[in-house]
Each structure stands twice: as structure tokens, then as C-alpha cells.
Amino acid sequence: MRTFLIAGLAATLAATALAEPVTYKIDPKHTYPSFEADHFGGMSIWRGKFTKTSGSITLDRAAKSGSVDVTIDTSSVSVGIEDLEKHLRSPDFFDVAKYPTATYQGKFTNFVDGKPTEVQGSLTMHGVTRPVVLTIRSLKCMPHPLKNKKEFCGADAAAMIDRSEFGMVWGKNFGFGMDTKLAIQVETDVAK
């Protein structure tokens, strides 16, 4: 009887441990939020990314909940053209001297087969906070083959924003479209 109780207690503790939320630190070497923006009303599409990102993701699969907290260093914007990067850092766009970071905070929603398919959250950029829903196109967690088999996760998410809603209207009078596609590639470090 005692053995049965100990085994039952161990099983209960194991189930409780699995049901607890797990917090993952974002791996900055594998996380690059990117964007696509119009150039001269359909002349071409410009693409860029941010190379410095930090934050955390908390996931509770049993409770079908979790959160995302991401900070982007706006001065790390990279498009491959130095003059354009300087312009993007200027007050016409990100104004990195005044607003050195952009942040996104949200909650996981719409779980399907144990995985969230959306993040309902808010993006703060250029001193303006607006609601932004991220669509999670893929999310995978697995034991890391190189780090003691501890779990890590990766995801691909997307959203569309109107950059004019964040006070970045440069080019509008030249016919530039304001819709900007966001694509977020993220991986976490192993769970602690």
C-alpha cells in the first residue's frame, strides 16, 4: 500500500510539473523580426530586419495560455543599404535617438491541438501603442540535441500593420503605401 501511495504521489507531482507554465528566454542569435514595405506605390517591395532582439515567452500547454514579451533595438534595423538604414533611424521613421526600442506584449489565444495559433497583443513603436494580432504560422518545441536535451521552441508569426498609425508617414505624399507586413522568426534558448 505504501509503495502504491508513493507511486501515486510521484505521478501526481510529475503531472503537476508538466502542467506548470514554462518560461523561455528568446535566443537573440536565432530571432530576427523582419518587415516588407512598399516603395513608390508598387514600384517595388523593400525588405528589412532587426538584428537585436530580447525577451521571453511563457507557455502553459495544459491551461492553454501563455504570453509573449519582446523588445527590439530599433537602431539594429538592417536593409543592406547604409543610406536607407540611416534614414530609417531618423525622425522620419523609427527616430532611434528618441525611441530606441519597440516592444510587443501579448497573450497566446486560439489553441489548436495544444498549440496557440494567435497572439493578441500590443505593439509600441515610435512612441505609439496599437493593438496587433500575430498569426502563428508554425510553433514547435522539442528537446535540444546539443544542449542536454532540454526543451526549446521556435515559431514563425506574421501580421500586417499600417505604419501611419505609428506616426511614420514619410513617403505617403509620394504615393508610398502605408501597409507593412511583419514576419517574426523566433527561437528560444532551452527552458530553465
Average pLDDT over residues 160-184: 96
Question: What's 94's domain CATH number?
Answer: 2.40.128.110
| Coil/strand/helix, residue 42 | coil
Q: Is residue 10 part of a domain?
A: no
Average pLDDT of the chain is 90
- β strands within 89-187, DSSP E: 101-112, 115-125, 128-143, 151-162, 179-187
Average pLDDT over residues 82-87: 97
Q: Is residue 134 part of a domain?
A: yes
Q: Is residue 3 part of a domain?
A: no
Q: Is residue 74 part of a domain?
A: yes
Number of domains in the chain: 1
Average pLDDT over residues 7-34: 71
Q: Is residue 8 part of a domain?
A: no
Q: Is residue 11 part of a domain?
A: no
In this prediction the pTM is 0.86
